[in-house]
């Protein structure tokens, strides 16, 4: 008889799963714990890591005497400018000018053929002489009462009519001699020898260049502030760095209802003739007496919809325990920047006026603004910095 065997216990599957899950949880929990501790330490390191000083250029705010000014754009207009035409038609017999020539008032430009008109003039002059002789003869007969007074008056009227016809023919001949109506510079001629020119046809343009007028528009708010005699300064693209000085001669006494602007005209000296009619000009003018304003470069201002701001540089003492990038302790003072909102005014060249928020002598950052934040440490390097000129000149390279 075989020996009896002990009964086998069923495996505890559920317990094994529980133990395995516990081990997995411990392992992964440890990994995540280590990772969280490492990330925390890393963040603490970077949060407390000393930031390197930012290199910037600076500008010291100063005071200047500025007058309230205005600016506008305008168009140059000739004081006298026209297309020279002819009143009578005819064939061009002589051209007495060259294109682009300067001429005086009354200078001969073009002669048209007047042979037929001159022949007619001789006939009319002969008729006028005969009529005059007859009028004088009949006047003597009238004194002797050999003819009636009515006959005498008819002969005198015929003589006067003949003389008037002579003068009309002479005027017609004079119309065929075209002369410059005023002194100026001629353009390109538009006729040739032997060409028939109809009445009213353009011969050549004539422009008076010195002086020259400048028409520009102003907002209606300036009505009454800009009066004839006000000095203006015009800048032309054709004359960089050489503004032309002038004075306002007239202001339109009405406002354009479409644009709400009014038109002003100034007269400029143009001895070299470099400013040409139709050209574009920028106009600047002063309003009122000069006053002292605080000025800084425009590059120092951060223009934002919610307000304009600058970074002001100040010197402060270091906090205990501050270190450099290598962990060495730092002592003494450091330069930091503080953002400050300001109210800006007019601009002149590279400079802008500060109406409030900044005092003369305060130092502002003029370049490197995008890298800055409040209380950031900076170092000053002014070896290369933006221009800050009242009348900047563009280099010709």
User: pLDDT tens per residue, the chain (397 residues)?
Assistant: 455 555 555 556 777 788 788 888 888 888 888 888 877 777 765 555 556 778 888 999 999 888 777 788 999 999 999 999 988 888 999 999 999 899 999 999 999 988 887 788 788 888 888 878 877 776 777 776 766 777 778 878 887 888 888 888 888 888 888 999 999 999 999 999 999 999 988 999 999 988 999 999 888 887 777 888 888 888 888 888 788 889 999 988 888 888 888 899 999 988 888 888 999 999 888 777 778 889 999 999 999 888 899 999 998 887 776 666 555 666 667 888 999 999 998 888 889 999 999 999 999 999 888 888 888 888 888 887 777 776 666 555 5
205 lies in a domain?
A: no
Q: What integer pLDDT is reported at residue 333 of this predicted model?
A: 77
Residues found in the chain: 397
Q: What integer pLDDT is reported at residue 361 of this predicted model?
A: 92
Q: What integer pLDDT is reported at residue 328 of this predicted model?
A: 64
Does 62 share its domain with 132?
no
Q: Which residues pair with 16 in a beta bridge?
A: none
Q: What integer pLDDT is reported at residue 151 of this predicted model?
A: 74
CATH code of the domain covering residue 371: 2.40.420.20
Helix, strand, coil percent values for the chain (each to nearest 5): 25, 35, 40
Q: What integer pLDDT is reported at residue 37 of this predicted model?
A: 81
Does 295 share its domain with 364?
yes
49 lies in a domain?
A: no
Characterize 79-105 residue by residue with b for buried, 16 or more Cβ atoms within 10 angstroms of its Cβ, and e for exposed. bebbebebebebebeebebeeeeebee
State the pTM of this model: 0.57
Q: What integer pLDDT is reported at residue 125 of this predicted model?
A: 82
Q: What integer pLDDT is reported at residue 116 of this predicted model?
A: 83
335 lies in a domain?
A: yes
225 lies in a domain?
A: no
Does 59 share its domain with 134?
no
Q: What integer pLDDT is reported at residue 339 of this predicted model?
A: 92
Q: Which residues contact 93 (CB under 8 A, 6 or more apart)?
A: 111, 112, 113, 114, 193
| Domain end among 134, 154, 175 | 175
d(CA 380, CA 71): 36
87 lies in a domain?
A: no
CATH code of the domain covering residue 150: 1.10.287
**Domain span at residue 146?**
117-175
Does 124 share its domain with 60?
no
94: alpha, beta or left? (left if phi > 0; alpha if psi -120 to 50): beta
Q: What integer pLDDT is reported at residue 317 of this predicted model?
A: 80
272 lies in a domain?
A: no
CB-count burial class (<10 Å; 0-12, 13-18, 19+) for 192: exposed
Strand ranges (E), the chain = 54-60, 62-78, 81-85, 90-95, 102-103, 108-112, 177-179, 184-186, 196-197, 202-207, 212-219, 231-236, 244-251, 261-268, 280-297, 308-317, 333-348, 351-356, 363-367, 377-380
Q: What integer pLDDT is reported at residue 10 of this predicted model?
A: 57
d(CA 155, CA 133): 9
**Could you tell me the sign of the dihedral formed by the alpha carbons of 27, 30, 32, 35, in that order?**
negative
Enter the tokens of residue 257: 């209802």
| Domain end among 126, 151, 175 | 175
CB-count burial class (<10 Å; 0-12, 13-18, 19+) for 322: middle
199 DSSP 8-state letter: T
Answer whether 274's CB lies under 8 Å from 210's CB. no
383 DSSP 8-state letter: S
d(CA 323, CA 91): 97
Report how many domains make up the chain. 2
353 lies in a domain?
A: yes
């Amino acid at each position: 008889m075989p020996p009896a065997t002990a009964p086998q216990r069923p495996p505890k599957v559920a317990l094994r799963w529980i133990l395995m899950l516990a081990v997995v949880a411990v392992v992964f929990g440890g990994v995540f714990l280590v990772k969280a501790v490492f990330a925390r330490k890393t963040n603490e390191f970077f949060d407390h890591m000393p930031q390197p000083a930012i290199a910037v250029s600076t500008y010291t705010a100063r005071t200047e005497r500025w007058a309230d000014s205005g600016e506008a754009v305008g168009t140059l207009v000739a004081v006298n400018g026209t297309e020279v035409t002819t009143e009578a038609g005819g064939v061009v017999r002589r051209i007495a000018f060259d294109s682009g020539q300067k001429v005086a008032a009354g200078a001969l430009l073009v002669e048209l053929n007047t042979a037929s008109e001159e022949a007619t003039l001789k006939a009319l002059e002969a008729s006028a002489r005969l009529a005059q002789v007859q009028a004088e003869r009949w006047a003597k007969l009238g004194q002797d009462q050999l003819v009636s007074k009515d006959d005498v008056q008819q002969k005198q009227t015929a003589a006067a009519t003949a003389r008037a016809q002579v003068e009309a023919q002479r005027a017609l001949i004079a119309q065929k001699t075209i002369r410059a109506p005023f002194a100026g510079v001629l353009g390109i001629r538009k006729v040739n020898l032997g060409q028939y020119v109809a009445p009213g046809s353009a011969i050549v343009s004539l422009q008076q260049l010195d002086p020259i007028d400048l028409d520009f528009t102003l907002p209606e708010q300036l009505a009454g502030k800009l009066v004839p005699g006000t000095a203006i300064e015009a800048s032309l693209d054709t004359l960089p760095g050489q503004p032309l000085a002038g004075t306002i001669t007239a202001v339109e006494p009405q406002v354009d209802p479409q644009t709400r602007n009014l038109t002003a005209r100034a007269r400029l000296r143009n001895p070299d003739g470099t400013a040409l009619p139709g050209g574009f000009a920028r106009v600047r003018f002063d309003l009122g007496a000069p006053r002292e304003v605080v000025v800084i470069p425009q590059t120092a201002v951060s223009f934002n919809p919610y307000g304009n701001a600058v970074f002001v540089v100040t010197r402060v003492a270091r906090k205990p325990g501050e270190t450099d990038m290598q962990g060495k302790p730092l002592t003494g003072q450091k330069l930091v920047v503080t953002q400050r909102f300001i109210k800006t005014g007019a601009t002149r060249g590279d400079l802008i006026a500060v109406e409030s928020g900044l005092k003369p002598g305060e130092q502002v950052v003029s370049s490197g603004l995008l890298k800055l934040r409040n209380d950031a440490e900076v170092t000053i390097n002014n070896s290369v910095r933006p221009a800050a000129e009242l009348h900047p000149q563009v280099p010709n390279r």
